[in-house]
Amino acid sequence: MKIDVLTLFPEMFSCLNHSIIGRAIDSGLISINSVNIRDFSENKHNRVDDYPYGGGAGMVLQPQPVYRAIQSVKEKQSRIIYLSPKGKLLNQDLAKELSKEKHLVLLCGHYEGIDNRIIENYITDEISIGDYVLTGGELASMVLIDCVARLITGVLGKDESYIDESHYDGLLEYPQYTRPRSFDSFHVPEILLSGNHQKIEYWRKFQALKTTYLNRPDLLDNKNLDDEEREMLKQIKSEQVGK
C-alpha cells in the first residue's frame, strides 16, 4: 500500500520508521511519503492560512495549496481522507476496509480547519479517531496508518496474529498472563495451567464477554450472541448484582 500524507509538519512522521510499521516500510509492504502543503503555497511568504469569512476565532487553511498538494499525489483509485473531529468514527471495520486499498492520501488539517470547498469536492472520506479534539490531524493520521497497516497481509508476523485481539470479533480481548505463575502474591488463573483447551476457550470467551459488558456495553448491542454467550452474559449480569 502506498500512503501519501499531506501535512504542514512532515517531520512528525519519522516516528513511524520504527517497530512493526518500520519493518513493513523496510520490506516494501507499505510506503509512506509525507508532502509539505506549504510547498504548494502561491504566496510569496509561503502563507497557507487566512482569516475565516464571516469572522470568528482562528485561521483556516486556504483551498489553493491544499488542492495543489492533493493533485500532486492523486491517482485514479486514491482514497483521499481528511482527518477531522467532524468525521466518521474510525473503527476496526473501517480499518479493515481501508487496508484493502492500494493508495491512501491523508490530509492533516490545522488551525480552525480547512476551507470547506476542499472537503465537499476533493475528499472521499472524512474520518475522526475519537470524540475529542487534537491540535491537528497528524497524530490522527499516524493512528490511522498504524491500525490500517497492521491489517495488511504480511505486516504482522505469523506469531503476531490479530485474530484473537480486541475488536476482532466485536468483543474486547480476554486477559493474558505469562510467567511467573505467582507475582507479588497474585496468581495466574488455575484454568490456564490446566492444559484443558476446551475449558480454557470457554473461560476466555467468558472473560471477553465480561470485559466488554463492563467497559463497552454498547458493543454488545451490535453483536449476535449465540446460546452459550447469552447464558454467559446472564451469569455475568447476576455476578454484578449488589457489587
Q: Which is nearer to ligand ADE, 8 or 209 (CB)?
A: 8
Query: Among residues 62 and 128, whose Cβ is nearest to ligand ADE?
Result: 128
2, β-bridge pairs: 31, 103
- What is the H or E stretch that residue 182 is in? strand 182-183
CB of 113: closest distance to ligand ADE in angstroms? 9
Question: Count H helices, E strands: the chain?
Answer: 8, 9
Q: Closest distance between ligand ADE and the C-beta of residue 144, in Å? A: 8
Cβ proximity of 105 and 71 under 8 Å: no
| Cβ 85 to ligand ADE shortest distance, Å | 4
Q: What residue number has its CB nearest to ligand ADE?
A: 140
Least separation, in Å, of the C-beta of 116 and ligand ADE? 15
Task: Write out the three cell numbers for 78.
Answer: 486514491
Q: How many CB atoms lie within 10 A of CB 229?
A: 17
Q: Minimal distance in Å, beta carbon 139 to ligand ADE?
A: 8
Sign of the torsion formed by the C-alpha atoms of 11, 14, 79 and 71: positive
Question: 116 by DSSP, 3-state: which?
Answer: helix
Is the CB of 36 or the CB of 128 nearer to ligand ADE? 128
Nearer to ligand ADE, 5 or 129 (CB): 129
Which residues are paired to 182 by β-bridges?
187
CB of 7 to ligand ADE, least distance (A): 12
Q: Which region, left, alpha or beta, applies to residue 46 given φ > 0 means left and ψ of -120 to 50 means alpha?
A: left
CA 26, 146, 18, 176 dihedral sign is negative
- In the bound state with ligand ADE, the residue whose beta carbon lies nearer, of 7 and 212, is 7
Helix H segments across 174-196? none
* Sites of contact with ligand ADE (CB under 6 A): 83-85, 128-130, 132-134, 137, 140
Task: Please say which residue, 7 or 128, places its beta carbon nearer to ligand ADE.
Answer: 128
